[in-house]
Structure 1
């Protein structure tokens, strides 16, 4: 039996920021709409870096770098991951659709697709929309989405932190792409 040991920083073979910028990205972006917590924003930057998202769109009242609370949680991912501020999320959704993205709202909704049933296509680009921590994804955005994706939950709360949801969806997306 092999005894596990923690890897050293050198053994992790981490990319430098410059190498990261040049590396191929996976075919998804995050759209953060009206995210109040800058710590959540920073955490989603880290998740985006870990799974090599193409970009993060920061919409509405969502804070943008540079900000100490984003930087504190992002641990430098706010410098590696491409991002753009978009004042109007509906205009951004329209633009992303025109660029060939499938719009996926992460929300509990009538007729939503359960995460385990979501089967992304290798040739398709996806924009995962995450909404406000209290109110969720804006109803108008849900109505414009191609897919409404729901993470099944089995406890009493039926809600997850927005940054946790981003991590679950990013991992599931990458795992399914790696299997195909």
Structure 2
């Protein structure tokens, strides 16, 4: 099961809204959606989680390029929403080298469950690491250190929202 929300930082604190990602096909689309929700080019965080498998944070500061953190690239690569976040740049590969996520053996479901049992080596694309990728310092200035972000698990988005002082507004859209 997926959950996605936008948290926009305003003068009055954090404002949350749930969001549908059905029409989002690229990171650029996601960034545009986030910017539309933010008055005055405020910081917007896009929080995405697939229950028990992975979570992602996309940070948009005005017109700056989005900053991304994904807790498990391997799990996210098997997800249509995770696929949006796992750009060539984030994965450190050349976009012209012929490897892309479309070549992955996606399971066709929105649950992102792997086609193999735990412990089996079934990664279809060795250029996608199994662990975290991206900017683990994405929330440092909001009080969530790299070490804390890397240690989050079960209710990662709830823990992030709590650290931001936004748990109440996030819960209203859950």
TM-score by length of 2: 0.29
Structure in which a larger fraction of residues adopt helix: 1
TM-score by length of 1: 0.28
